[in-house]
Amino acid sequence: MFTIVTDRITFNLRSSGSNDGVPLLLLHGSHATSRWWEPFFAVLPDSIHAIAPDLRGCGRSTQTDTGYDITNQAEDVSDLVAALDLTDFDLVGHGSGGAIAIEFALRHPQKLHSLILVDSVPIEGAFTPLQGLQLLSQMREDRPLLRRALYALMPTAPPPTMTDSEFESFFEQLVEDAAAMAPAAYTAVAEALNRWNRLEEGHRLTLPTLLLLGTEDTIVERDAATRTLLAIPGAANLEILRGLGHSPMIESPVVLAERIIEFITEDFESFEEARDFAHQSGEGVDGPS
């Protein structure tokens, strides 16, 4: 692990691979940290330089009472990208991290080689009713509830790469990480997703985009993922991960790694026509405020 200090917050990060490898930046979802990517890192080749930050309020990064809006967190990531001097990199977002990745791609498309959304929040955002927000808040003090909620995100775990005892130890670390989040972060991200919607701006996402969804994901609905697919010209297909739930980086890191590596090493010629058409159609459209 290492630390990067920016003008906005201090980031704790995990990484794998050679420093001169293909740059891959990975954003975790709600109630998570960069630790969620460790099983995925373990199966990546050294030729990929994978970097995963703890986002605002999570892990060992700066904890704050405010600043969890998706636009604000996208600018957190922008400062991190500048500090790391990343260019032409592949950006992966999981769960709510997918919304942050979409927002970053809309604001800073020139920085990216591709966008990869893994069981991501739909481009239209996600509504959590009051009762759901109350449950999220309750998880701060109710460790068994927190444990059950996290386990529901990875229904097919442990992965083939871990023994049962290894997974139990790893999972308890995930629970401890979630319990140590900034108090505001328990509900603030869900509240932010209630307000965030980039469906109308999606036509500007003309860079190559990979959408992945597990068949056993009970968080992201297939219809919502399909609407995201239709909204993004750079997305050629919604690829289904058979027998996996919401967290393939933990449930089957080899499957996820194989698909991501295959995608980021494509030459993307098949995307050119869609990107050109979308660019022409969207000329003169302002970016998000």
pLDDT category at 266 given cuts 50, 70, 90 is confident
Position 85 pLDDT exceeds 80 = yes
Phi, psi of 57 (to 5 degrees): 80, 0
Position 284 pLDDT exceeds 50 = no
pTM for this entry: 0.92
Q: What residues does each domain of the chain span?
A: 2-281
Q: At 77, which helix (H) or strand (E)?
A: helix 70-84
- According to the CATH classification, is domain 2-281 in 3.40.50.1820? yes
| Paired tokens of 215 | 């068949």
Give 48-64 pLDDT, tens digit per residue.
999 999 999 999 999 99
Residue whose entry in the numeric block shows the structure tokens 């660019």: 279
CB count, 10 Å around CB of 136?
22
Q: Which residue, 117, 12, 102, is CA-closest to 59?
A: 12
